[in-house]
Chain A
Amino acid sequence: MKRRRFIQSIPLLYASPALYTQSVAYAQNIAKIETASPGAVGEPVARFFSAAQLAALRRLSDIILPRIADAPGALDAGAPEFLDFLVGQSPIPTQTLYRNGLDALNTRATAKYAKAFAALDNTQADELLSPLRKPWTWQAHGGELACSTCASTLMPADRFAAFLQHAKADVLTATTNSREWITAAQRTRGGGGNGTYWLPAE
């Protein structure tokens, strides 16, 4: 589902001639203005990863969570572009994990199939993603300690596997927390995406 479609679905309000006459009600009762968030109207611009890294991340994201029937996939949700932004803001160990991991996908793809990861077919890509088909364990993957903000010393030894596990978790979250996914999920099984947000202290 293209982001644009949501924008088009927002009813557009044009100033009608009647509004040129100021009503007393608007002058006296200050209305609450409905607004949209920055992410609701524009297309994200990727700035952090190289073109080759971003291409690999897009392919990886599509493999981790493809569009399935009516449910939007990671690409529909703009997950790779969002992760480009998020990882670009993240501590160095996370940036390194992602950059090295994406480079490794391309290096391994080139060594085995003489192609970039983005150009592999599904069977070929599956070969390279075998660490994602091994059972996850706290011991092997550092559990929640290997989170995007943690110290690099806690990262598990197999950095490529760690990258894939991180990417899997991040792509899933970036997709299932997206406007596209939640809007679709509301139609199918009543997702909401609502939470109680604590405003900053004054």
Chain B
Amino acid sequence: MANQTYDVLIIGSGASGGMTAHTLTAKGIKCLMLDAGAPIDYDRDRVTRKVFDLPYRGFGQPGRFPHVTQADEFNANVWADEKQNPYTFDPADLYYWVRVRRIGGKTLVWGRASWRLSDYEFKAKDHDGFGDNWPISYSDLAPYYDKCEPMFRVSGRKEGLAQLPDGNFIEDDSPDSESMKRFIGAAKQRGVPTTKPRRATGALASSLNLLLPEALATGNLTVVPNAVVRQLTTDKKTGLVNGADYVDRHSNEEFHVSARIVVVGASCLESTRLLLNSGIANSSGVLGHYLFDQFYVKGTVQAIVPEARDGKAPPNLMGGSGYIPRFRNIESKSKDFIRGYSVDFGSGGSPGARYFPLYGEALQKALASHRGTGFDATTMGSVLPRFENHVRIDPVVKDAWGIPALHIQARYTDNEFNMARDAMNTLAELCHDAGFELLEKHDQMVPPGESIHELGTCRMGDNPKTSVLNKWNQSHDIKNLFVVDGSSFVVGGSQNPTLTILALSMRASDYMAERMRAGDL
């Protein structure tokens, strides 16, 4: 094993690392994958427990995950430990950095929403003059979306919308419930489009089961869990990367491994941190800058369908979920924000106790009366990429392996706040038009980072002075270094990013393999 040089070293085993391994190994390229996290046996490592048999009765250990609202006592062990993996931020600019360090990465727990970006994102600047365009167009990525959707068995309904291109779907022709029809009808009246969710299906839709097993079956992939990469190493003569220093997660023993090409797919901010700690790929000075995500307004509206009270809903009244694609600033122009937002909505939930200003027996009666009567919607808004939102290496704080931690500085601005208010008012109107009773509406965003859609800190571009990567996810500075995760995004839109990350990493891998064949890498 020692002194072996691999063709390609891949750092990270999630969506982007997994797709890179899947694509390259199929072409006969020898890959080594390092991941900082533990391996996982999906059947053995997950067991059924009663909530009252958990030590904290389902509340979870207090203070264990101050910045991971997704963590509950059942899934707590999935998330990266915050004490072992610290990061810093100014208390005035709270940032929730949510990480998974296990083989499969965040694809073990993702929401599976699978949307394509469109030229409203790739060529966003052409529409409103803000920021930069991507160096690629929708047509460059479409063939890769076409391949990724069947691999992840994405279901959806074709709509022919320019801002949300159709894909290679398992057709979702399920009927809508009556309450959904009322909401969809109200939306149509106001020119607001709706569609079915587009979502990866199957018992598990992860790199762990959909990408890594096939890659391993080629015999061309070695997966090494528990390998925490400290830094990438470079050849002093050529300036190329030649491998990585890494640490055994358990023993802290240090190792080095060599490779002809290094692909970083450790998640947006971990990849950025690794490059910053390695002191490479930053001749532009923009590495770590232009951090953005999608802002979330969870439960923007919580309404009830009055006819469903007291269990009186006919069988076809309640249930189902849907999606409002971005519709602002497509044909018309909003007065106080550019770009737009999307909405997830669902019928048939039960409004929580907080929505009822009651306690005691009256509260229990209200909860029983409203069981299954709920209609709720969550807003996911586009965030403008801004240079000043950035990450840098914290001068003091280090992780459990002595690797310098990140300092994160991000803040939303009026464009996002105005968008959130528009979403709240629009959704409240739609609920009213649909005959729903509104219990609560609000436009309070969760802190930056909580959507787990962090993007943009190794942005791609044609100009090496203003971008870290070229249009092939390849470092402008170091031609045998690729960064394939969400850090390469230039503009993110309001769509969940995973499908685009899969398509980009597949495209970058095809390019890599072709350049290797040509003897250029």
With A135-B357, A144-B298, A168-B359 known as contacts, the answer to whether A89 contacts B61 (CB < 8 A) is: yes
- Chain A, range 23-66, C-beta contacts under 8 Å to B: 37, 39-40, 63-66
Q: Which residues of A are found within 8 Å of B63, using beta-carbon distances? A: 89-91, 149
Q: Which residues of B are found within 8 Å of A182, using beta-carbon distances? A: 50-52
Q: Does B397 reach chain A (CB closer than 8 Å)?
A: no
Task: Choose the segment among A10-18, A104-112, A113-121, A190-198 that binds chain B (4+ C-beta atoms closer than 8 Å).
Answer: A190-198
- Asked whether A198 lies within 8 Å of B364 as measured between CB atoms, the reply is no
Nearest Cβ distance between residue B224 and chain A, in whole angstroms? 15
Q: Which residues of A are found within 8 Å of B471, using beta-carbon distances? A: none
Q: Which residues of A are found within 8 Å of B91, using beta-carbon distances? A: 151, 153
Q: How far is the CA of A139 from the CA of B57 in the complex (A)?
A: 29
Nearest Cβ distance between residue B313 and chain A, in whole angstroms? 16
Nearest Cβ distance between residue A185 and chain B, in whole angstroms? 11
Q: Does B255 reach chain A (CB closer than 8 Å)?
A: no
Nearest Cβ distance between residue A45 and chain B, in whole angstroms? 16
Q: Does A138 reach chain B (CB closer than 8 Å)?
A: yes
- Asked whether B53 lies within 8 Å of A201 as measured between CB atoms, the reply is no
Q: Which residues of B are found within 8 Å of A145, using beta-carbon distances? A: 444, 446-447
- Asked whether B361 lies within 8 Å of A66 as measured between CB atoms, the reply is yes
- Select one of B52, B62, B442 contacting A148, CB under 8 A: B62
Q: Which residues of A are found within 8 Å of B57, using beta-carbon distances? A: 39, 82, 86, 173-174, 177-178
Q: How far is the CA of A132 from the CA of B359 in the complex (A)?
A: 7
Q: Does A19 reach chain B (CB closer than 8 Å)?
A: no
Interface size classification for chain A: 35 or more
Q: Does B141 reach chain A (CB closer than 8 Å)?
A: no
Q: Which residues of B are found within 8 Å of A64, using beta-carbon distances? A: 359-360, 363
- Asked whether B77 lies within 8 Å of A198 as measured between CB atoms, the reply is yes
- Select one of B76, B361, B442 contacting A198, CB under 8 A: B76
Q: Which residues of B are found within 8 Å of A37, using beta-carbon distances? A: 52-53
- Asked whether A200 lies within 8 Å of B47 as measured between CB atoms, the reply is no
- Asked whether B78 lies within 8 Å of A198 as measured between CB atoms, the reply is yes
Q: Which residues of B are found within 8 Å of A169, using beta-carbon distances? A: 353-354
Task: Mark each residue of chain B from 61 to 102: 1 if its CB lies under 8 Å from any CB of chain A, else 0.
Answer: 111011001000111111000000000000100100000001
Q: How far is the CA of A153 from the CA of B444 in the complex (A)?
A: 15
- Asked whether B444 lies within 8 Å of A197 as measured between CB atoms, the reply is no
Task: Mark each residue of chain A from 136 to 166: 1 if its CB lies under 8 Å from any CB of chain B, else 0.
Answer: 1111010111011111011000000000010
Looking at B353, B354, B359, the one whose CB has the most chain A CB atoms below 10 A away is B359
Task: Mark each residue of chain B from 349 to 366: 1 if its CB lies under 8 Å from any CB of chain A, else 0.
Answer: 000011101111101100
Looking at A71, A201, A202, the one whose CB has the most chain B CB atoms below 10 A away is A201
With A40-B53, A86-B59, A137-B440 known as contacts, the answer to whether A147 contacts B69 (CB < 8 A) is: yes
Q: Does B54 reach chain A (CB closer than 8 Å)?
A: yes
Q: Which residues of B are found within 8 Å of A196, using beta-carbon distances? A: 46-49, 74-75
- Select one of A143, A174, A197, A200 contacting B442, CB under 8 A: A143
Closest to A87 in B: B62
- Asked whether B74 lies within 8 Å of A198 as measured between CB atoms, the reply is yes
Q: How far is the CA of A95 from the CA of B440 in the complex (A)?
A: 29
- Asked whether B56 lies within 8 Å of A86 as measured between CB atoms, the reply is yes
Q: Which residues of A are found within 8 Å of B38, using beta-carbon distances? A: 201-202
- Asked whether A136 lies within 8 Å of B354 as measured between CB atoms, the reply is yes
- Asked whether A201 lies within 8 Å of B62 as measured between CB atoms, the reply is no
Closest to A38 in B: B55
Q: Does B45 reach chain A (CB closer than 8 Å)?
A: yes
How many chain B residues have a CB neighbour from A under 8 Å? 49
- Asked whether A143 lies within 8 Å of B50 as measured between CB atoms, the reply is no
Closest to A60 in B: B359
Q: Does A184 reach chain B (CB closer than 8 Å)?
A: no
Q: Which residues of A are found within 8 Å of B355, using beta-carbon distances? A: 136
Q: Does B37 reach chain A (CB closer than 8 Å)?
A: yes
Closest to A202 in B: B38
Q: Which residues of A are found within 8 Å of B73, using beta-carbon distances? A: 197
Q: Does B111 reach chain A (CB closer than 8 Å)?
A: no
- Chain B, range 17-71, C-beta contacts under 8 Å to A: 37-38, 40, 45-54, 56-59, 61-63, 65-66, 69
Q: Which residues of B are found within 8 Å of A143, using beta-carbon distances? A: 298, 442, 444
Q: How far is the CA of A48 from the CA of B62 in the complex (A)?
A: 15
Q: How far is the CA of A69 from the CA of B49 in the complex (A)?
A: 28
With A132-B357, A137-B442, A143-B444 known as contacts, the answer to whether A150 contacts B48 (CB < 8 A) is: no
Q: Which residues of B are found within 8 Å of A194, using beta-carbon distances? A: 48-51
- Asked whether B49 lies within 8 Å of A198 as measured between CB atoms, the reply is no
- Select one of A151, A178, A199 contacting B46, CB under 8 A: A199
Nearest Cβ distance between residue B263 and chain A, in whole angstroms? 24
Q: How far is the CA of A168 from the CA of B357 in the complex (A)?
A: 11
Q: Does A5 reach chain B (CB closer than 8 Å)?
A: no
With A86-B62, A172-B353 known as contacts, the answer to whether A63 contacts B360 (CB < 8 A) is: yes
Closest to A40 in B: B53
- Asked whether A139 lies within 8 Å of B444 as measured between CB atoms, the reply is yes
- Asked whether B77 lies within 8 Å of A199 as measured between CB atoms, the reply is yes
With A39-B52, A135-B357 known as contacts, the answer to whether A201 contacts B61 (CB < 8 A) is: no
Closest to A170 in B: B59
- Asked whether A144 lies within 8 Å of B446 as measured between CB atoms, the reply is yes
Nearest Cβ distance between residue A89 and chain B, in whole angstroms? 5
- Asked whether A68 lies within 8 Å of B361 as measured between CB atoms, the reply is yes
What are 21 of the A-B contact pairs (CB < 8 Å)? A64-B359, A64-B360, A86-B56, A90-B63, A133-B358, A141-B354, A147-B69, A150-B66, A154-B94, A168-B359, A177-B57, A179-B50, A182-B52, A194-B48, A194-B49, A194-B51, A195-B48, A195-B58, A197-B73, A198-B77, A202-B38
Contacts A172-B353, A194-B49, A196-B75 supplied; 16 other A-B pairs, CB < 8 Å: A37-B53, A65-B360, A65-B363, A90-B62, A91-B62, A94-B62, A135-B440, A137-B440, A138-B442, A139-B442, A143-B442, A149-B66, A168-B354, A179-B50, A196-B49, A201-B38
**Contact residues of A with B, CB < 8 Å?**
37, 39-40, 63-66, 68, 71, 82, 86, 89-91, 94, 129, 132-139, 141, 143-145, 147-151, 153-154, 165, 168-170, 172-174, 177-179, 182, 193-202
Which are the 3 A-B pairs with shortest beta-carbon distances? A201-B38, A138-B442, A90-B62
